[in-house]
Amino acid sequence: MTTETRAFNAASFFAYLKEGQLMGVRCRTCGKLSAEARPMCQDCHSRDVEWFAFSGRGQLSAFTCISVVPNAMGEKGFGRNNPYCSGIVALEEGPRISALILGVDAANPQNIATGLALTLQVEDQDKDRPTLAFVPA
């Protein structure tokens, strides 16, 4: 564990992700966990928050497969002939987070089911533009 306190923002979130760690925020006042790195608790509005390391394990809660892709995903090789799966992951600690779901057949979404056990994908991270992604566990 690191002892430094990084700013509670998206830049820090992605810096941790490049190090292979899914970090969220825990409220020291009420204990609420959030997968979004914000300096204020979304429940009690306390600013007494700390970084919290998620295990990186969860389940697929909802998903959609996208074949008409935004430019950033097109540059990663996705498109009409290579759709990608975007999902909501219910982390085992409770919070839900939106992520890219890799290792599933996005061209055949009928073969993808909610409840699928997932784990954080930490390899092959784009060092300039890290992406939060999960793969089947």
> Contact positions toward Zn ion, by CB under 5 A?
27, 29-30, 32, 41, 43-44, 46
Nearer to Zn ion, 54 or 84 (CB): 54
Residue 29 Cβ, how far from Zn ion at the closest point, in Å? 5
Residue 30 Cβ, how far from Zn ion at the closest point, in Å? 3
Q: Which residues contact 66 (CB under 8 A, 6 or more apart)?
A: 73, 78, 83, 84, 85, 86, 106
Residues 109 and 117: beta-carbon distance below 8 Å? no
Give the residue among 121, 100, 135 at the shortest CA–CA distance from 18. 121
Nearer to Zn ion, 27 or 73 (CB): 27
CA distance 15 to 45: 25
Nearer to Zn ion, 25 or 85 (CB): 25
Nearer to Zn ion, 37 or 133 (CB): 37
CA distance 93 to 21: 15
Residue 14 Cβ, how far from Zn ion at the closest point, in Å? 24
Residue 27 Cβ, how far from Zn ion at the closest point, in Å? 3
CA distance 55 to 7: 21
